[in-house]
Amino acid sequence: MKEKYFLLPLLFLGQIMQSCNSSGGGDSASDSLFDITVSLNTSDSLKDYLIPVDLLALDQSFTVRHDEELVPIQLDDRNNNGVADKLFVMIDLPEGGTKTLHAIPGEPTAQKSQIQLLAALPGGEHVDQLTFPVEHDLQLGGIVMENEWLAYRLLSFPPYNFDIIGKVYPELILDTIQSELSILKKWGGDILDESNSLGIASPAIYNFDKVAPFDQFDSREVTVRSKGPLYAEVYQLIKGVPIRGERIDVGITWSMQANKHWAQVEIELLSTTNLNLQFAFGLPRHEEADAFIQGKKGSTQFAYTYGLQSEQGEQLGMAVMVPEIYDLDLYRDDPHNHFFMTLPVNNKVQYRYLAAWVKGRLTIFDEVDFVGLIRKYAQEYSVQPTTMVKYANR
């Protein structure tokens, strides 16, 4: 296997938050550079819902308002040319409601991050714009996304899986931690008893009679696209995965947002092939946990395990959630994992995973509570607001 390097460019440009002491200036509608109208045509309501918007080039800074209130947003420069091209807006939507947001000229207001992405060398040097070998060269053992509830980690060594970092306090603290995460500290630590499993919802591929992780390849490149304050995203480009006599390329987008217990994964098949390929993802098997229990809420399929399955033998619930557009198969023959398998739709498979730890900030003491959390997020996953963007004079 070739030696592998990856580049982590700093893409985050600006941070804007709601300011309780700010007063509205001017007529929002008439001064607007562009308007964003978000509609929810269901009986559901949404809280802290993140709306992504592709931006046209603008030559001036702006804030975003709903009526006279500042709305939390995040700006990203995805093509790294010094101009923001991606906007994330976080809003609440009442059931069946519509909100129109106005982008008003003005200087951004600094926001305290509600989520952070940490990728650092063993000495603590952050790797926003450095190139370095993939294996074993990251502080804390991989790339970590953290919000107020918990954190997830993408391990930087085989099998490159996801695991769970439990938190006791809401503050974003992982960038202050220098030691290994495996020993539980006062603030929390690694809580997933992985043993020989692929971790929580780690992507893999079905190869004839077994599920194989993406741990064999010609090259593996990782790009940090977003680092906060509301949303974090990492893209992995894996080239030359050996499968049935061919070598395929796969793109994996891993993301997390503020104020939610879940992370999202999207796997994309980049190669042209005649192979009938199924992607796989699932949860660890544990003798002290319930089996892979399946259900559905709205248009979202889910499965979960719950029991004394943390690294410390405490209550831990884990779940995966999948839109119903994917036809799921269950793979039962792996001794260490429960797996969903599915064919990609338009060459892609998207799903979310979540966890809740009995000692975490959200105290889940029994399975009923955990199932309630899953159903809440599954219903939210089913709801798709419509978004329209209108620029002034265009």
Q: What is the pLDDT of residue 157?
A: 85
- Rounded distance, CA 54 to CA 333, Å? 43
Region 112-116: mean pLDDT is 91
> Per-residue pLDDT tens for 24-78?
344 456 789 999 999 998 888 999 999 999 999 887 899 999 988 999 999 998 8
- Checking if the pLDDT of 178 tops 60, the result is yes
Q: What is the pLDDT of residue 2?
A: 39
Q: What is the pLDDT of residue 111?
A: 78
Q: What is the pLDDT of residue 29?
A: 67
Domains of the chain: 7-111+385-391 (2.60.40), 116-382 (2.70.98)
From the list 77, 61, 73, 84, the residue with the least C-alpha distance to 9 is: 77
Q: What is the pLDDT of residue 272?
A: 93
Q: Could you tell me the pTM of the whole model?
A: 0.90
**Across the strands, what pairs with 170?**
none
Q: What is the pLDDT of residue 30?
A: 73
Q: What is the pLDDT of residue 148?
A: 96
If you search the block for the tokens 């290994």, which residue do you land on?
180
Q: What is the pLDDT of residue 309?
A: 94
From the list 271, 273, 238, the residue with the least C-alpha distance to 253 is: 238
> Per-residue pLDDT tens for 345-357?
999 999 999 999 9
- Checking if the pLDDT of 18 tops 50, the result is no
- Rounded distance, CA 234 to CA 240, Å? 20
- Checking if the pLDDT of 19 tops 80, the result is no
Q: What is the pLDDT of residue 316?
A: 95
Q: What is the pLDDT of residue 79?
A: 82
If you search the block for the tokens 């089996």, which residue do you land on?
291
Q: What is the pLDDT of residue 290?
A: 86
Please state the separation of Cα 51 from the chain's center in Å.
14
- Rounded distance, CA 198 to CA 241, Å? 17
